[in-house]
Structures are given as C-alpha cells and as structure tokens.
Amino acid sequence: MKVLHVLMCGHTGGIERLCFDIGLRSKEHNFFFIKGVGEIYEGMKKSGIKTFAAYNSLIKLKYNMIKKIVVSLEKLIESDKFESVIFHNGAPFLWIVATRLKKRNKRIKLFTYAHSNANDFLCKNSISHYIRFFVYKKMLKTVDGIIAISNSVKKSILYYFPKFESKIILNYNGIDLTKFNKTCSSYYSTLQIIYVGRLIEQKGVQNIIKMLSNIKDVDYIFSIVGDGDYHNDLKKLAENLGIIDKVNFLGTRDDIPSLLSKANIFMHIPEWEEGFGISVIEAMSAGLICIVNKNGAMEEIIDNNVNGYIVDNSKEKEFISQCNNIFIKTINGENQYIRAEAIKKSHEFSINATIERLNCICKDGRI
C-alpha cells in the first residue's frame, strides 16, 4: 500500500524526524511538503526518500493557494497510485487542504495525525481558538481516521469532539533503538544533565534552569540541545541566576545519540500538556536517568521510581528537593536499576512497531 504524508515544511522537529525515520525504512511511504525547505527535507532527498514540494521556498501562504495545492495533490495521488494520505502538523491551512482534498476525491483514505494535545493545536488561550476549532471540526467530519500519538492526546481530542471517538486510533511514536549507546557507569564526579528539544517557553527549560540555580550539594553541567525563539531569554535567565558557567547552549545538533551517551540525566519539564515525548524515549534507550514533569503523556512513558522519575514543578520547594535527592542518588550510584528498567521500557517504542501499526491503519482503518 502506497502512503503519502503531507507536512508543512522540512525543518527539524519531532514530527519531521518521525517521518524521516519512516521514510528510511519503507519505500511505500512518500512525503509531500507545502514548503520544500529545511534540514529534514534536504536530508530525505539525499537519502533517496521520495519527496515532493508545492513550493521550494519559505513562501508566505495565502488562502488562494489552497486550490493549487489540492490540485497538485490530486495529480500526484493519481499518477503515483497512492491509496492513503496522512496530514501532519497542527496548522489550519493544512486542515483546509485536507478537507478540500477529501471532498474532491472520496476514494482516497485520508487520515490526520494528532501530534500534540488539543489545547495546544487549537490554541486554547488565543483569539484564533474558535476559528481553529471550527476548521478542525470540519476536517474531522471528512477524514477516515484520527491518529493519536498517546492516550493523553486522544482524551484531549475527545474533550472537544466526543462524537468522533470511533475515528480515533492510537499509535505511539517510535525511535530507532539501534542508534543509542547504553550508558550504565555507576560513578560521576560531575553530573552531566541534558535537555533536547525546541527552545520555546512551553517546553519549560526555564523551569530546569531555575531549579538548578538552587542546587548547592552537587556539581553539574547542564547542556541544552536545540534552538528556538526562547534561546536568548534562557541565556539571560542563566546569567541573572549566576549559573551561566554551568549551562552549555549547544544549538541544533545531528549527533544526539553521541551527546546522550555522555550524559547521566535527561530532564523534560514542559509547561504544556506534552502529547508524547520522543526525546524522553531516546534518553531512556540510552540508559539515562529521566526526570519529567507530571503532565500530558509522561505517565504513559515513565513509571515513577521504576524506570524514571515524575516530579511536579508547580510546587517549587518540593520540586527542588526531589531533583536534589535524585542527583545525589545518581552521584552515589544508588539508582542503577532505573537505568536498566528505562532501557527495557524503551523497547516498547520502536520505530518498526510504529510503522507496522501505521500500515495496518492505512490498510484497514484500525490496528
């Protein structure tokens, strides 16, 4: 079965990395980018993955472009004999394209992939919320299925759209487990703490920096991998709190497995309800001690005190105390069992299993 994935653009992000991994393993999965730009887009082309693009620049999208894109998709679907189309990204522009495409071509099986919680892609606290709600609901009426990356995402969609429960299909994201070296050494003089992801306020890196400024009993280095609009704010915060010499801003990197192999602790303390946590799975696969915030899908990945730690940063003093205790245990090698269990748990989230389930969804509309 031939499947066409539709994405907004090819810059580095969790959705794009997932699609890259799918493309590397299955020639039946091809990729159409509204904007054919970005590291992932170029990487796919160099790797021989079949890609298409509506525009080859960061063009500003306008409503009158929708018809042209829909027609381009129709021609591509017909010429390359695609049987299913999957729309990624939480962008209203794509939702409209998906709705128009399905109405013009009822034969095609069409799915939307929900990569984040509904409050986020519907922009709950924004003036655009009601417009997004209307456009998304209109698309849900036409699609054959809604692929949710976690139960947390599924529940968030049902909160707004309970009538579409029968259309929602769960498919956890997966990673290439062979990429990550297992790190289980038992002694560290300096803790190597790491975060991997976008630098936006919602990802909560500021919560980690604030907490670390209160840690006095443990020597540490905090490496921040990724980039985004919040970069300068985070750097200024580290400077103001007097720990800039302990914080390394590494920017966007393509050697994540190597960086993880040199770290001891991975932290992910987002402000929003995280739909999943692909970077957490990668860190677990590398045998790191993972500390995550109690929200979103984190409790579907981490079993507290078994294969990682779940904390609550809303209670500041308790949060600092919990992290300090975990750091001391890690320094003393008292939580090695956590590492072994983390590696074991990560095997439940392989990219091959994700692709297998996805193929079943595209073929039968279910797993």
Same domain, 12 and 142: yes
In contact, 145 and 361? CB cutoff 8 Å: yes
- What Cα–Cα distance (Å) separates residue 164 from each residue in 129, 143, 145? 19, 10, 9
User: Tokens representing 57?
Assistant: 């620049």
Same domain, 255 and 357: no
Same domain, 300 and 315: yes
In contact, 358 and 25? CB cutoff 8 Å: no
Binned at pLDDT 50, 70 and 90, residue 188 comes out as low
Same domain, 322 and 280: yes
Same domain, 164 and 263: no
Nearest 5°: the CA angle 118, 309, 244 is 85
Task: Dump pLDDT digits (tens) for 83-131.
Answer: 999 999 889 999 999 999 999 998 999 999 999 999 999 999 899 999 9
Same domain, 142 and 189: no
Domain CATH number, residue 77: 3.40.50.2000
Q: Does residue 149 carry a pLDDT above 60?
A: yes
Mean pLDDT score, 336-355: 94
Mean pLDDT score, 238-259: 94
Q: Does residue 189 carry a pLDDT above 70?
A: yes
Binned at pLDDT 50, 70 and 90, residue 219 comes out as very high
Per-residue pLDDT at 183: 61
Same domain, 157 and 290: no
Per-residue pLDDT at 367: 72
Binned at pLDDT 50, 70 and 90, residue 338 comes out as very high
The total of structural domains in the chain comes to 2
Per-residue pLDDT at 32: 98
In contact, 66 and 78? CB cutoff 8 Å: no
Same domain, 63 and 170: yes
Q: What is the pTM of this model?
A: 0.89
CB atoms within 10 A of CB 356: 15
DSSP state of 60: P
Q: Three-state SS for 55? A: strand
In contact, 311 and 322? CB cutoff 8 Å: yes
What gap in Å lies between CA 103 and CA 344, rounded to an integer? 45
Domain that holds residue 89: 3-174+351-364
Same domain, 291 and 355: no
Task: Dump pLDDT digits (tens) for 3-53.
Answer: 999 999 988 778 898 999 999 999 999 999 999 998 899 999 999 999 999
Nearest CA-CA partner of 337 in 317, 301, 365, 309: 309
Buried b (16+ CB within 10 A) or exposed e, 26-56: bebbbbbbbbbbbbbbebbeeeebbbebbbe
Same domain, 219 and 257: yes
Task: Dump pLDDT digits (tens) for 49-58.
Answer: 999 999 998 8
Same domain, 111 and 247: no
Same domain, 276 and 153: no
Binned at pLDDT 50, 70 and 90, residue 252 comes out as confident
* Residues 6+ away with beta carbon under 8 Å from 104: 70, 74
Give strand ranges (E) for 94-190: 109-114, 145-148, 168-170
Per-residue pLDDT at 3: 97
Q: What is the dihedral of CA 97, 172, 289, 229, to 10 degrees?
A: 0
Q: Does residue 140 carry a pLDDT above 70?
A: yes
Nearest CA-CA partner of 351 in 1, 86, 23: 23
Mean pLDDT score, 341-345: 95
